[in-house]
Amino acid sequence: MKTDVLIIGGGLAGCATAYFLAREGIDVLLVERFDLNTQASGANAGSLHIQIPHDAFVTEGADWAREFAPTIRLMTESTKLWATIGAEIDCDLEVKITGGLLVAHTQGQMRDIGRKADIERRHGVNIEFLDRNEVRALAPYISDNVIGGAFCPDEGSANPLKATPGFAEAAMHHGARIMCNTEIVGLEDTSKGFVAQTTAGSIAARRIVNCGGADAGTVAALLGLNLPVEGHPIQVSVTEPAEALVPHLVYAAAEKLTLKQMRNGTFIIGGGWPATRRQNDNKLAVNLRSLRDNMRLALNVVPALADIHVVRSWPAIVNGTADWKPILGEVPGHAGFFMNMFPWMGFTAGPISALAVAELVMGRRPSFDLKRFSAQRYA
Ligand SMILES: Cc1cc2nc3c(=O)[nH]c(=O)nc-3n(C[C@H](O)[C@H](O)[C@H](O)COP(=O)(O)OP(=O)(O)OC[C@H]3O[C@@H](n4cnc5c(N)ncnc54)[C@H](O)[C@@H]3O)c2cc1C
């Protein structure tokens, strides 16, 4: 089998990259070892983030946040693209940009929010500092013990069950081919391009885009590259549907929390709490302590959730890097081999990362300069 561009991985990164290439008439073959959207892209919480994650700011510190902060612009641009791309691919992605509200229960948390907001504002984030009364006025559903917070009007949510399939459909509409249940098990860089060994035979490709998510490091290692991509088991929960109550994406400075109400009335509650690997078979499982602490925190922020049942919790692996920065673009010294790996918040950044990487693959100037996210930093 032959293709111009081989895309490895059928999550959001892979399917969106396939779309942005195929719409320009590029010959694309996407290979996925399972089915499309079965890993992080289909299991995530659907938040569209712009603010620096508060828990990371507290644990990693202000120097880390300053280093990370340029990544925010990529997420801001991606959120703008989320708002328009659904119409282009003819798919209702349930995008809702109603703002993200980070709330504090203590003066210490307010000070941390203020220090973080200073960094965010320097990187173009539209962020308002709110006192207790302003929080009440904006979000009457918030607990009385909240003393203030910060609001970013440009944040929101989209539906992870719709995004990747939507991009895949649109890519196929433009001629992209997709092979599922096929794993890439070997890669060779020959003088005439790449040869990929798969569980269904070999594929010759002029260029490759590695969209392997948490396994992007393993895929890169097939070419002898050492890219320290991490995979962490985390979990999310969904409630039964309820009357419209919470229009915003809500975070807490106290601990890990993301909470939002979807169009169908259900609440998605997460924030990156660890899931478990079962000892007997190494399979992922929900961690009950994480579930309890996550729900306790949610109730401490939105007390009305006490009357609403959680109906399902699920674990999945999130792709990570130690510095939280993405690995995007052509790998130096490996002409024709591109990375599209956005860690931790790759749902938010999926559309713009895919567009910019696709533009680089086509030899065009990218809509967003990806130089600072190059794999070069690991050389
Ligand atoms: C529980 C959870 C909640 C999250 N919440 C949010 C959120 O609210 N907002 C946000 O912005 N981000 C969130 N994320 C992160 C986000 O989901 C991911 O960063 C993003 O989906 C990564 O997309 P991807 O396409 O790179 O990876 P994936 O969706 O993991 O896709 C990679 C694909 O590559 C395939 N693959 C790997 N190796 C091979 C191989 N050798 N051959 C063939 N195929 C291969 C895999 O099977 C997989 O399907 C969350 C993640 C998790 C797990």
For residues 122 and 217, state if they share a domain.
Answer: no
Predicted pLDDT at 119: 97
Task: Classify residue 78: in a domain, yes or no.
Answer: no
Regarding whether 257 and 122 lie in a shared domain, the answer is yes
- 49 CA: nearest ligand 1 atom: 11
CA within 13 Å, CB half, 370: 30
- With respect to residue 48, please indicate whether it lies within any of the assigned structural domains: no
- What integer best gives the mean pLDDT of the chain? 97
User: Where does the pLDDT of residue 226 fall: very low under 50, low under 70, confident under 90, or very high at 90 and above?
Assistant: very high
Cβ of residue 236 lying under 6 Å from some atom of ligand 1: yes
Atom of ligand 1 nearest to the CA of 268: 8
Model pLDDT, residue 225: 97
Q: In terms of domains, do 235 and 357 share one?
A: no
Whole-number Å distance between alpha carbons of 260 and 217? 32
Identify whether residues 281 and 302 lie together within a single domain: yes
Which tens digits make up the pLDDT trace of 235-253?
999 999 999 999 999 999 9
Q: What is the model's pLDDT at position 362?
A: 98
Residue with the nearest Cα to atom 13 of ligand 1?
Answer: 345
Answer yes or no: is 165 within a domain.
yes
> Is 133 contained in some domain?
yes
Alpha carbon 118 to chain centroid, angstroms = 24
62 in a domain, yes or no?
no
| DSSP code string of 85-123 | HHHHHT-----B---EEEEESSHHHHHHHHHHHHHHHHT
What's the pLDDT score for residue 250?
98
- Indicate whether 152 and 280 sit together in one domain: yes
Distance between CA 256 and CA 47 in Å, rounded? 14
The pLDDT, as a whole number, for residue 228 is: 97
Residue 216's pLDDT band (cuts 50, 70, 90)? very high
Is residue 127 within 8 Å of 121, Cβ to Cβ?
Answer: yes
pLDDT at 146: 98
Q: What is the pLDDT of residue 185?
A: 98
pLDDT band of 111, cuts 50, 70, 90: very high
Task: Identify whether residues 248 and 309 lie together within a single domain.
Answer: yes
**Do 305 and 208 share a structural domain?**
no
The alpha carbon of 172 and the centre of ligand 1 are apart by a number of angstroms equal to 20
Do 274 and 363 share a domain, yes or no? no
Indicate whether 166 and 144 sit together in one domain: no
Say if residue 316 is in the same domain as residue 327: no
Nearest atom, ligand 1, residue 348 CA:
11
For residue 77, tell me if it sits in a domain: no
Could you tell me if 217 and 227 are in contact, meaning their C-beta atoms sit under 8 angstroms apart?
yes
Quote the pLDDT of residue 40: 98
State residue 62 phi and psi, 5-degree precision.
-70, -35
Q: CATH number, domain at 225?
A: 3.50.50.60
Strands 276-277 and 258-261: unpaired
Read off the pLDDT band of 198 (50, 70, 90). very high
Number of the ligand 1 atom closest to the C-alpha atom of 346: 19
Task: Kindly list the distances between the CA atom of residue 99 and the CA atoms of 10, 51, 247, 371, 377, in Å, as whole numbers in the listed order.
Answer: 29, 11, 8, 29, 33
Of 320, 339, 359, which residue is a domain's last? 320
What is the distance in A from the centroid of ligand 1 to the CA of 123?
26
pLDDT tens, position by position, 298-355: 999 999 999 999 999 999 999 999 999 999 999 999 999 999 999 999 999 999 999 9
CB of 9 closer than 6 A to ligand 1?
yes
Centre of ligand 1 from the C-alpha of residue 234, in Å: 12
Question: Which of 44-48, 164-168, 190-194 has the weakest average pLDDT?
Answer: 190-194
- Final residue in a domain of this structure, among 302, 320, 338: 320
Residue span of the structural domain in which 204 resides: 2-42+161-229+323-378
For residue 364, is it within any domain?
yes
Whole-number pLDDT of residue 78: 98
Output the CA–CA distances (angstroms, integers) from residue 70 to 66, 129, 212, 325, 357, in the order listed.
8, 21, 24, 9, 17
Give the number of other CB atoms < 10 A from CB of residue 207.
Answer: 21
> CA nearest 352: which of 123, 44, 17?
17
Q: How far apart are CA 82 and CA 349, in angstroms?
A: 9
Give 23-41 pLDDT, tens digit per residue: 999 999 999 999 999 999 9
Residue 59 in any domain: the answer is no
Q: What CA–CA distances, in Å, run from 144 to 67, 269, 294, 307?
A: 35, 20, 19, 17
Residues 236 and 126 in one domain: yes
Of 297, 320, 343, the last residue of a domain is: 320
pLDDT at 137: 98
Contacts of 108 (CB under 8 A, 6+ apart): none
Cβ(44) – ligand 1 distance below 6 Å: yes
Give me the number of domains the chain comprises: 2
How many helices (H) does the chain have, and how many strands (E)? 11, 20
Burial 41-62 (b: 16+ CB within 10 A, else e): bbbbbbbbbbbbbbbbbbebee
Q: Is 8 in the pocket of ligand 1 (CB under 6 A)?
A: yes
Q: What is the pLDDT of residue 208?
A: 98
pLDDT tens by residue, 264-295: 999 999 999 999 999 999 999 999 999 999 99
* CATH number for the domain that contains residue 152: 3.30.9.10
- Is residue 212 domain-shared with residue 293, that is, in the same domain? no
